[in-house]
């Protein structure tokens, strides 16, 4: 398949960008290295669509990698941001918007009695790990192969997402000493977690997990996995950290903790929390969070933490989602419809697929199922995914340019959007089938 992923204006911009930014991008997966071709450059976004600088319009299932659960540029969020700009864009001082957002988070996630706002999911996860080590006095953390918790050194050990896309599971610049403090386990395998506790003589400060793995496609926890993690952490005096940067406010009003009925010690959130602006947070019980400076000795700070524009956008988003389950019931219906579209069009062209879905998160794997582990994910047909991605883009549908990412559904994906999506997937699977028939 020829390079049809970008028009002439996008190609020109990409050439300029490559002289100024590593790979021409500010986040690696955007470079399209895993799927081939040249990335398109966005001119505008509205609802379920992106429009590039060449005038091409795409149905967007990336949603800025998850935050845009209401679709792009919803009126309520734009109005909230505009109102916030009238009083200033950054204070470096406390303001009431921080309190209002924290109250809204705590109301939806009651196990978060106290939190600290930061500027990204990475900042949230690295701060939570520091807090866990500071509270427990222990050294090691346990993370899961294929799970991605941001680009802090301690997490770039057998990570998923962009690190896997670029075949860099262990980044240069991560010291042996840092790597030695991270014990990797297998997602959905409690025995591997127990081995980490045994191999470190119980010197584990925290187990950090994506309760639904969203950085190796979408891989849900098998029954008993999260409950088992809770029990192991309690037994060994370690903290259980749910990385809900993706799942927070996406799979339930109270995130994965509500959906699965398992309460972590600490939770990290982001993406939807900022309503499309840079925002993250970490939190837990008052007893734990009071160890953070200035109340306690564990230090963390940030110039733009609690930014008034981001808090306004996040608060508007959460209020638009509402207090009952109606919003999530609609997303469940839309997610199920998209899952059926992918399954039926793949089957029509004889393409084996495994699909994992949790609410509005969908994982598409070009292989027979089931897919429960990082090893299962890695057996997907990466070359075939490249063909599928580029054919979808040509048909006007944008999914993440990596086989290790999640397809996201939002409230802007209505029935006409899904009809157009069906036609695009039918065309794309037909293109993939043709490549498999060619000698």
Of 58, 148, 187, 260, which is the active-site residue?
A: 148
The answer to whether residues 283 and 267 touch, using CB atoms and an 8 Å cutoff, is: yes
What domains are there in the chain, each with its CATH number? 8-73+324-437 (3.90.1150.10), 75-321 (3.40.640.10)
Q: How do residues 53-102 score in pLDDT, each as one tens digit?
A: 999 999 999 999 999 999 999 999 999 999 999 999 999 999 999 999 99
Catalytic residue check, 243: yes
Sheet of strand 49-52, all strands in order from the earlier edge strand to the far edge: 42-46, 49-52, 57-60, 397-398
| Catalytic residue selected from 243, 265, 376, 381 | 243
163 close to 229: Cβ distance less than 8 angstroms:
no
Say which range, 120-129, 154-163, 202-211, 239-248, has the weakest mean pLDDT.
154-163
Cα(first)–Cα(last) distance of the chain, in Å?
15
**pLDDT band of 2, cuts 50, 70, 90:** very low
What confidence score (pLDDT) does residue 438 get?
A: 63
- Tens of pLDDT, residues 236-268: 999 999 999 999 999 999 999 999 999 999 999
Annotation marks residue 299 as catalytic:
no
Question: Annotated catalytic residue: which of 271, 376, 381, 398?
Answer: 271
Please state, in angstroms and rounded to a whole number, the distance separating the CA atoms of residues 310 and 195: 41
Can you tell me the distance from the alpha carbon of 294 to that of 302, in angstroms, rounded to the nearest whole number? Answer: 13
pLDDT surpassing 90 at residue 5: no
Q: What is the pLDDT of residues 288-341, one digit of tens each?
A: 999 999 999 999 999 999 999 999 999 999 999 999 899 999 999 999 999 999
Residue 370 has pLDDT above 60, yes or no: yes
Per the annotation, the verdict on 148 as an active-site residue is yes
Alpha carbons 86 and 74: distance in angstroms, whole number: 19
| Residue burial 234-265, b: 16+ Cβ < 10 Å; e: rest | eebebbbbbbbbbbbbbbbbbbbbbbbebbbb
My answer on whether omega of the bond before 373 falls inside 30° of 0, hence cis, is no
The number of C-alpha atoms within 13 Å of 389 and in the hemisphere containing its C-beta is 29
């Amino acid at each position: 398949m020829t390079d049809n992923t970008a028009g002439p204006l996008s190609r020109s911009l990409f050439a300029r960008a490559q002289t100024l930014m590593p790979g021409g991008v500010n986040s690696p997966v955007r470079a399209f290295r895993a799927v081939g071709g040249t990335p398109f450059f966005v001119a505008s976004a509205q609802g379920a669509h992106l429009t590039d600088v060449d005038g091409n319009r795409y149905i967007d299932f990336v949603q800025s990698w998850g935050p845009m659960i209401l679709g792009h540029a919803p009126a309520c969020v734009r109005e909230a941001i505009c109102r916030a700009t009238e009083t200033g864009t950054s204070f470096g001082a406390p303001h009431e918007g921080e309190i209002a957002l924290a109250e809204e988070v705590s109301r939806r996630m009651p196990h978060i009695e106290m939190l600290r706002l930061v500027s990204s999911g990475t900042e949230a996860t690295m701060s939570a790990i520091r807090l866990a080590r500071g509270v427990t006095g222990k050294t090691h953390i346990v993370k899961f192969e294929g799970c991605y918790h941001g680009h802090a050194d301690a997490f770039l050990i057998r990570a998923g997402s962009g690190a896997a896309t670029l075949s860099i599971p262990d980044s240069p610049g991560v010291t042996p000493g840092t790597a030695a403090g991270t014990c990797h386990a297998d997602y959905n395998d409690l025995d591997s977690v127990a081995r980490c506790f045994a191999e470190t003589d119980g010197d584990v400060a925290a187990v950090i997990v994506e309760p639904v793995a969203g950085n190796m496609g979408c891989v849900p926890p098998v029954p008993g996995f999260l409950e088992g993690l809770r029990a192991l952490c309690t037994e060994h005096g370690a903290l259980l950290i749910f990385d809900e940067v993706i799942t927070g406010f996406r799979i339930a009003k109270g995130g994965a903790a509500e959906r699965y009925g398992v309460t972590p010690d600490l939770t990290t959130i982001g993406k939807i929390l900022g309503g499309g602006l840079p925002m993250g947070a970490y939190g837990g019980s008052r007893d734990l969070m009071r160890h953070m400076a200035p109340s306690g000795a564990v230090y963390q700070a940030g110039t733009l933490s609690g930014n008034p524009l981001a808090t306004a956008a996040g608060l508007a988003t959460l209020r638009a989602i509402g207090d009952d389950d109606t919003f999530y019931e609609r997303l469940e219906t839309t997610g199920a419809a998209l899952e059926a579209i992918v399954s039926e069009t793949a089957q029509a062209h004889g393409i084996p697929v495994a699909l994992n879905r949790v609410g509005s998160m969908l994982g598409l794997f070009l292989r027979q199922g089931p897919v429960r582990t990082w090893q299962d994910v890695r057996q997907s047909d990466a070359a075939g995914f490249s063909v599928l991605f580029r054919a979808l883009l040509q048909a006007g549908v944008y999914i993440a340019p990596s086989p290790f990412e999640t397809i996201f559904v939002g409230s802007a994906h209505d029935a006409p959007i899904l009809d157009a999506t069906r036609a695009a997937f039918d065309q794309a699977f037909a293109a993939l089938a043709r490549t498999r028939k060619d000698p």
